[in-house]
Structure 1
Amino acid sequence: MPHKDTVMICAGGTGGHMFPALALAHDVIARGCAVVFVTDDRGRKFIPDDIDALIEVIAAGTLPSGLVGKLKGAMNLALGYLKSRRIVSKYAPKIAIGFGGYPSLPPMMVAQHKQILTVIHEANAVLGKANAYLAPKADRIALSLPDFSSLEEADAVRAVVTGNPVRSGIAALYAEPYMVPDVDAPFHIAVMGGSLGAKVMADIVPDALASLAPDLKSRLSVVQQCHIEDTAQVDEIYKGAGIAADIRPFIDDMPEVLKASHLIIARSGASTVAEVSIAGVPAVYVPYPHHADMQQKVNAEIVSTKGGAWVMLENHFTPSALAGRVESLMRSPETLFKAAEGARSCAKPEAGRKLGNLVVALIKGWDKNASKQYDYTQGHEG
């Protein structure tokens, strides 16, 4: 049996980090590579049991404010680094790909110190802290968007636009048409707060939908992701309003939910935006407001400028404001039809294959010869 090249995939513990990592893993496994994941306890939960990959869990906290918090975070990173040294020695990867998040930092640092090929993938419009730290020594910087403004000039020459990989079941939705609802037909809404849920969605969305006119409420069917502790409250509001609702702590059948939806109400993390755009579903995005670089606002505005979404900042995200938006959309199929096309115009359904191409080309030493097959921004080809 021929020796398999080992690809080490390093990612933080949220869906925004893990879903693109899983998409790449499936691609390179299909090409005959061996895969080892390095993540934390949270990230481990996203990896399906049936994937043909090895998994290593490391300690890797954030670096919060406050002296005690910083010391604890630094200790976790140090422990993660020591374990990562053992992992790299054990598997001898040909290449390491980091998808951001603090758990990706120790194994990627070890790979760079050992002069193993490294690629960082940035899902958002602005480099996250871990990726920004790793960028100067990365062999390639894979971007989801053709925006090099967050890169230092010396790093931009190694950047390539691949898009943000999504799960295969969601990528397949790119070929599916958006089913425009008639003004008196059932109307399906999916409410998502990211992989960990968002309390603001539980606080605002049910009250907003419950305040709609009776003829609109009778059409509604809602799938809402929320924290377990908010489930009873959310369910009670929907039942009291006579709205059919499916309340879940996690949406594990996302392709089916996206395919059935006429409107998405969600945070605008990079993976959510990529998946919703590929599915071609109009969205109301409520960016997470506490990132210093406002990365989710930037993600959402990219789609809204194409007419595929509406952005509601959290300080303006009230039940009455949301109800007004939903009512206008439910009564205007033409607006939804145009928005669906606007959303799909932002999609990059081949992102997983393009990132896989880059990984294989680097392993084989073909990168410079093969650069034309990647979406390099003009002036930044390898």
Structure 2
Amino acid sequence: MSLRELPPGQSNLSRWRHVRYVPLVILVILSLIAGVGGFIVGRVNAGPAPIASPDPDVSDYLLPDECHPATEVTDARPWSGGEAAASAAVWNAHEAEVGAPVIEGQDGWVFWSDIQSENMSQAVGRRLLSNTELGRWTKYLTETQEALAAEGIEFYLVVAPAKWEIYTDELPTWMQDVRGPGPLDQLLGVGADLPIIDVRQPLREASAEYQTYSRLNSHWSDYGSMVGWNAIAACLNANDSSVGTLSAFEPSSVENTVFNEFESYGFASESPDWTVPRFDTPLLEVERTLVDEEPEVVPGDSMLDSSKTPATTSTPGAQSDSSVLMIGDSFTTLMSVWVQQSFENATFVRHNFDAADTSTQPDVVALAKESGSNIVILEVTQRFLTHPPA
């Protein structure tokens, strides 16, 4: 069938016989456009299927099962298909709340709102990663892993869970019915062959005994960071025998104190719920060197503020004589205690994925080689997944 102009001499009737097909052609074209558009929208907005523990005989996961324990993921899809309009109406009815700096959940829990990397939109799955963002993450992780592997260096990504990921039931009541899978579920769903350590389930299980996050802070607590590190160590033990054996930290007690991040917004601490592990035997002293400063010896429980990195540490007698390059953000601050106790030598650098100036993002491969590290761990706060590496 052709829609060309007819050659001279052909009748008007013949011309109209061809023109009558125009509506059909237009319909076909519109159908194709709608189909392609629907596929793209579906890929961007539809959440992944629930994650199940892989069968060891058929799994194509890059890392062993210890690195990604079975984690419950909602099978609801409130932001796609026929439910999207109703979910949007619920969201819009609470637009003022999510547009404020912080939002109060249940039982005194307070969360950063959408002013922080669309935090609440990510919490309910309203903000998902686009195909472009997923592609950037996949490309970065794959290329970094391959480049480091060529140098004999192991590479891992740890996504530090947001507290709404661990304490989902404490989100505002109205959010419960519009919550679907989020960006981390997307990344895990397409990243079976990516070096990702999923620490959500250990944190959820530990929360049954002691809080791993505080009502009035967005970070994991000292205790929560320890639980997260123990899960990372279990993965490293299972995946890389050259590290040696990293032992789980087991405190003799856990104390509660106050670390209120939201006091300036009018939220007072009703009761201490920032959990801190205590040990009968003191942790090993650490020699720490900051940029342009002389080395200093600090107590073993001294955290390294991520804002003061780059920095190096040396811990004689640590669990492993391996060297680690730890690239992270504010969640690394608390976890630095356990990293320092686990590795004799450690280098700490901030990833700066959330920085406006992408030139400040580190060259991971060059840093690993320069520092002599045989392990690289990249820690990324969950809400920063919407800031894929440049």
* TM-score, L = length of structure 1: 0.22
Higher alpha-carbon Rg: 2
Greater helix proportion: 1
* TM-score, L = length of structure 2: 0.22
